[in-house]
Amino acid sequence: MLEERRYIKDALYDWVRAVVTDEGRTDEVIWDHDDGPRPPKPFISLELIGTDTPGQPDYNMVEKRPDEAQDGERSITRFVKRALTMYGFGEAAMDLLETIKASVDIDKYVDLLAEKGLAVSQTFEVTEHPANRGGVTTEIAAMFDFHVTYKRVMTDFPGWIETVHIKPDSLPMEEITNQEGADG
């Protein structure tokens, strides 16, 4: 799942970077809790909040693997929903975050995310949050929460059954006979 997390982070970075660049801005895009110094303002910070896997997984049929006669393989597909928060710091942070939020309805950005297998499925209001220290406003920041959905595909190796031998004495013949007789 570490590769999945890195992939999601890279894909979302590409989306936000594209919107920022198209707006003619130079805000740096970073991830909260990553190592490194905080960049000078203006900048945008993304934070992964949580993950949910709604619904049941879809188990595909077991396929015989051509390289190993005794093993079978199947894929399991699961929808994943990740909750994130985007923060904007510096000049016009609120306006930029509103533009990024609105970009989820613009085909160019929808297509960019879809090419990476992602969709922004829900967004919440953009709010302004002044940082207060000791009653003094030290920084103005804006933020909004959003959800990203995608499919997680995993591979399972449950085995492969070539033949099944059923011995007649292992079948409960008396119960079968009685059940047939009870109906008739």
CB 26 within 8 A of CB 39: no
> 3-class SS at 52?
strand
**Separation between Cα atoms, residue 43 and residue 27, nearest integer Å:** 4
Domains of the chain: 2-55+79-145 (3.30.70)
Decide: residue 17, CB within 10 A, 0-12 exposed, 13-18 middle, 19+ buried.
middle
Spell out the alpha helix ranges (H) of the chain.
Answer: 2-22, 93-102, 107-115, 173-183
Per-residue pLDDT of the chain (184 residues; tens, 9 = 90+): 668 889 999 999 999 999 999 999 999 999 987 778 889 999 999 999 998 888 888 888 777 766 665 577 788 889 999 999 999 998 889 999 999 999 999 999 999 999 999 999 999 999 987 766 666 666 778 999 999 999 988 888 776 666 777 776 656 656 555 554 444 4
Round to whole Å and give the CA distance between 40 and 26.
11
